[in-house]
Amino acid sequence: MTESGLPGKRMTGRRQFLAGLAVLPFGLAGCSVAGAGGPTPTVSADPGAFPATIRHAFGETTIAKQPVRVATLGLGANDSCLALGVVPVAMPLSKAKPNGSTPWFDLALLGFGVDVPMLLDEDKELPVAALADLGPDVILAVNSRLTREEYEQLSKIAPVVAYPAAPLDTDWRTSLDMVAQALGRSAKAAEVRKATEASITDQLGNYPDLKGSSFVFAKVRSALGAAFEVFGTESNPVRILKEFGVAAAPSMDLVQSQGTALHPGGTGPQTYEWPRGRAPELAADLAVFSIVHEERAGVLGSGILNEVPPFKNNNFVLVDSADNGLALETASPLSVQWVAKNLLPQVAQAAYGAKNPK
């Protein structure tokens, strides 16, 4: 669970849009959308897109006609909606920003001229009554922690599209494709996917040291005796970082074979508890550590990182778990573009340091 607030379970009300960012991705300006204030004509669906039947972990969901009022739960479905030209009427509350949104969502929202949608706090209780009052046409939870019982509850309100396999472990392309199918916007999704991939590949030529550099990614807490939470090779942060050209370190195999799985049997993201005393075994050219902002000083002061080889060699990146760290876990087209712009240069600098030691 990220400190930034994985989307949650109770509606907290509508928040005013406060973003002050300036770049508009995917050419979203001018789209007609279903906003939080009520249904309006949506962008056109692909010909023959409906009825649409989507397979997921709890079976199949059929959407008879193009949805107008779209609610999202979990990570990234709201981002995919926006990238496809549709503003959801409700989305998860995030602690990343005071307005309850994330910087990458706010950046894309600039082109729509509307407020941040209604916010759902999933850290409390499943917002069944709130969603029923809202009257969505579809509920998209393609990268969520929804349980089967919760899925069945929500299915009494509207068609629900859950994740394809493990909770909170859907890669950004699959999330985008599932949301696009639900909205009848698969043609647009192909454009979004191409633009997202280009946001990374267009920069890679500027950073030759990335290619082949090995890395580990871990969340670190300041609590006394805290262990590392190391992300496995099939977790979203690692998948995305590998698109930067870096490679998962061989030490990840050791972690996956000897660490304690935090979500065994595919019940959540591929993460492992790794004892602080075995920090020297987290060998890699570089490391990316996700830290809660308020705990940064405590983590650095605790010495927990001191025996991690990339930290000792000064080839590491510290990411805020409510910003770049959350963006990696969210795994959406918008968050991937965000990390490509804001994190890729830092990772490249660490890779350069590893290949050019002083």
Residue 88 belongs to a domain: yes
Q: Assess whether 236 and 129 both reside in one domain.
A: no
Q: Assess whether 128 and 222 both reside in one domain.
A: no
For residue 333, what are the domain limits?
205-355
Per-residue confidence in pLDDT tens, the chain, 358 aa: 333 344 333 333 333 222 222 233 444 433 434 444 444 445 789 999 999 999 999 999 999 999 999 999 999 999 999 999 999 999 999 989 999 999 999 999 999 999 999 999 988 889 899 899 999 999 999 999 999 999 999 999 999 999 999 999 999 999 999 999 999 999 999 999 999 999 999 999 999 999 999 999 999 999 988 999 999 999 999 999 999 999 999 999 999 999 999 999 999 999 999 999 999 999 999 999 999 999 999 999 999 999 999 999 999 999 999 999 999 999 999 999 999 999 999 999 999 999 999 8
Residue 4 belongs to a domain: no
Residue where a domain terminates, one of 175, 200, 225 = 200
Residue where a domain terminates, one of 142, 176, 200 = 200
CA distances (Å), 229 to each of 75, 218, 281, in order? Answer: 19, 5, 14
What pLDDT is attached to residue 163? 98
Residue 3 belongs to a domain: no
Residue 71 belongs to a domain: yes
8 three-state secondary structure? strand
**What SS3 string covers 67-118?**
CCCEEECCCCHHHHHHHCCCCCCEEECCCCCCCCCCHHHHHHHHHHCCCCCE
Dihedral pair phi/psi, residue 49, rounded to 5°: -70, -25
Q: How many separate helices (H) and strands (E) can be counted in the chain?
A: 13, 15
Tell me the residue type at 136.
P
Structure tokens belonging to residue 99: 């307005």
What pLDDT is attached to residue 43? 74
Q: Assess whether 80 and 137 both reside in one domain.
A: yes
Q: Assess whether 86 and 228 both reside in one domain.
A: no
What pLDDT is attached to residue 35? 41
What pLDDT is attached to residue 42? 55
Dihedral pair phi/psi, residue 287, rounded to 5°: -135, 145
Instruction: Report the distance separating Cα 321 and Cα 290, nearest Å.
Output: 5
Residue 5 belongs to a domain: no
Q: Assess whether 147 and 291 both reside in one domain.
A: no
Q: Assess whether 180 and 244 both reside in one domain.
A: no
Instruction: Report the distance separating Cα 108 and Cα 200, nearest Å.
Output: 18
Q: Assess whether 261 and 348 both reside in one domain.
A: yes
What pLDDT is attached to residue 224? 85
What pLDDT is attached to residue 237? 98
Q: What is the pTM of this model?
A: 0.90
Q: Return the half-sphere exposure (C-beta side, CA atoms, 13 A cut-off) of residue 229.
A: 20
Residue 1 belongs to a domain: no
Residue written as token pair 């050419």: 27
Number of domains in the chain: 2
Q: Assess whether 232 and 176 both reside in one domain.
A: no
Q: Assess whether 210 and 172 both reside in one domain.
A: no
Residue 278 belongs to a domain: yes
Peptide bond into 136 cis (omega under 30): no
Residue where a domain terminates, one of 181, 200, 219 = 200
Q: Assess whether 339 and 301 both reside in one domain.
A: yes
- Read off the CATH number of the domain in which 285 is found: 3.40.50.1980
What pLDDT is attached to residue 124? 83
What pLDDT is attached to residue 181? 98
Residue 320 pairs in a beta bridge with: 291
List strand residue ranges (DSSP E) for the chain, in order.
11-14, 52-56, 59-63, 70-72, 90-92, 118-120, 138-140, 160-161, 214-219, 228-231, 247-248, 260-261, 271-274, 286-291, 316-320
Q: Assess whether 67 and 176 both reside in one domain.
A: yes
What pLDDT is attached to residue 252? 97
Q: Assess whether 218 and 165 both reside in one domain.
A: no
Instruction: Report the distance separating Cα 145 and Cα 227, nearest Å.
Output: 23
- The span from the first CA to the last CA of the chain, in angstroms, equals 37
Residue 56 belongs to a domain: yes
